[in-house]
Amino acid sequence: MTTAQSTPAKTATPSTTATPAARVQNAVIKYGFIFVTVALFLYFALSEGSFRESATLLDTLRYVSVAAILGLGVTLTMAVGGMDMSVGAVAGLGVSVAAQTMVVYNQIGTVAIVAVLAAGAVVGLLNALLIVVLKIPDMLATLGTLFIVQGLKLVLVDGQSITPGMTLDDGTTAPGKFTEGFLKIDRGTVLGIPISVLVFGGLTVAAWVFLARTRWGRVLYAIGANPEASRLAGIRVGAYRALAYVLSGVLASVGGLILASRIGQGDVSAGTSQLLEAVAVALVGTSVLGKGRPNVWGTALGAVLIGIITTGLTIKGLPYYTQDVVEGAVLILALVFSFTLSKRRTA
C-alpha cells in the first residue's frame, strides 16, 4: 500500500495501452466496485419490499457510520504508509469513558463528549510515541495499544458494564444516567436524517478536504509514498506521522461517542467488532475507485457497500453470524482488485 500513492489531484491513468481488453480491464478496476454496489442495491430493492423503505436505508447508513468514521482514521494513517489497528479499541474505550462520566460521575453530555475525544487523542499520542519516537513498526505498535486500551477499558469499569442505577463499589447507587442530549447523537434526527449519519457525512467531507485539498494532506501522502524524499524536501516527517495517529485516535473516539449513544450503557464488549470492519472498510476503500491507494471517498463508499450487503442479506434471512464471512469475502475481492488486477495492468 506504500508503493503507488499519490494525491487525488489530476493523475488520470494514461491510457497508453488502448487495446479493447485493456480498456475493459481498466473500467473494471475503476468502476467495478461501484457497479457491484449498484447492482446489489437494485437486486435487494427489487426483490425485498422492506429494503426499499427509506427508514431501512437510513438505518443502513446509521449502522455503518461507526465503522466508516473509524475507517477514515485508518485511511489517514494508511496515507502516511502506516496502519492503526487500535481504532476499535479506542471506540470501545470511548463507550466506557462516556458511561463513566455520565453515569458514575453524574456529568452532563458535553463533558462526556470532551472526555471521550480527549481519551482518543491521548491514545493517538501514545501510538505516535511508540511509532515515531520509539520506532516500533506501526502494525505492531497499534496492536499493542489495542490490548492496553482494551484492558484499560475493563479496569476503568471494574470489568462490568455500566448501567444507570447500578450499584457502585461503595454500596451507593450510580447517581447519573446517559443524558437525553447524548442519546440523541445516534437516535435524534435533523430534517429526518439521523445525527450520526450527518456526522459521518460531515467528517467524510472534512477528511476529504484535508487529505486531498490541503498541503497537510498532500504532505501525508508524500510521506507514505517516499518518506526519505519528503524529509529531504524539508518536511518534518515525524510530526506529520504523529498528526495522522492523533487524528485517527480522535476520529475513533467520535465513533465511540456514536456507539455509546447507540448502546445507551457502558457495554464492556463495545468496539470489538468495529476494529476489523474499520480496517476492512479502509482497505476496500483503496480499490473502490480503482486508485490503489487510501482515499477518503473510497473508504466512505466501501463502508456504504458493506452496509448494503449486510443489511440486504439480513433482510434476505441470512443469519447474522454469516455476516463476518460475507464481509471477509468482500474484503478479499477488494484486495484482488487493488493488488492482483492493478499489478497486471501496470506490468
Partner 1 sequence: MSPTETAAVSLADVSMAFGGKTVLESVSLDIAPGSVVALLGANGAGKSTLIKILSGVHTDHGGEVRVAGEPAALQSPLAARQLGIQTVHQRIGEGIVPGLTVAENLVFEELAQRRGNPFLNGAKLLARAREIQAGLELGWSDALLKRDVTELGISDRQLLILARALATRPRLLILDEPTSALSAAEAERLFALVEKMRDDGIAVLYVSHRLGEIDALADRLVVLRDGRLTEDQAKPFDWDAALRAMLAQAQEATTARPVREGTAGEVALSLRGVRLFEGRTPLDLDVRAGEVTGVVGLLGAGKTELARGLFGAEPFAAGAVALDGKDFAPRRPADAIRAGIHLVPEDRHADALVPGWSLAQNISLPFLKSLSRLGLVNTAKEDALGRDTIAALGVVTRDEHSTVEELSGGNQQKVVVGRWLAETPRVLILDEPFRGVDIGARRDIGRRARTLAAEGAAVLVLSADVDEVLEVADRVVVLAAGEIHLDAYGEDAERDRVIQTISASV
Q: Contact positions toward partner 1, by CB under 8 A?
A: 3-7, 9-12, 14, 209, 213-216, 218-219, 221-222, 225-226, 228-236, 293
- Report the residue number, 194 or 217, with the smaller CB distance to partner 1: 217
Q: Nearest approach, Cβ of 234 to partner 1 (angstroms)? A: 4
Question: Which residues, other chains included, contact 121 with Cβ-Cβ below 8 Å and sequence gap of 6+?
Answer: 246, 249, 250, 253
Nearer to partner 1, 207 or 270 (CB): 207
CB 37 within 8 A of CB 30: no
Q: Among residues 24 and 232, whose Cβ is nearest to partner 1? A: 232
The answer to whether 81 and 226 have CB atoms below 8 angstroms apart is no
CB of 320 to partner 1, least distance (A): 41
CB of 215 to partner 1, least distance (A): 4
Name the residue nearer to partner 1 (CB basis): 92 or 285: 285
Residue 5 beta carbon to partner 1: minimum distance, rounded to whole angstroms? 6
Q: Which is nearer to partner 1, 5 or 150 (CB)?
A: 5
Smallest gap from residue 264 Cβ to partner 1 (A): 38
CA 195 to CA 181: how far, in whole Å? 11
d(CA 307, CA 65): 9
Alpha-carbon dihedral angle through residues 112, 116, 122, 124, given to the nearest 10 degrees: -160
Minimum Å gap between C-beta 237 and partner 1 is 9
Long-range contacts of 209-217 (CB under 8 A, 24+ apart): 211/8, 211/75, 211/76, 211/79, 211/295, 211/296, 212/7, 212/8, 212/9, 212/295, 212/296, 216/240, 216/243, 217/7, 217/79
Give the amino acid at 277.
E
Closer to partner 1 by CB, 9 or 21: give it.
9
Angle at 204 between CA 252 and CA 83, to 5 degrees: 45
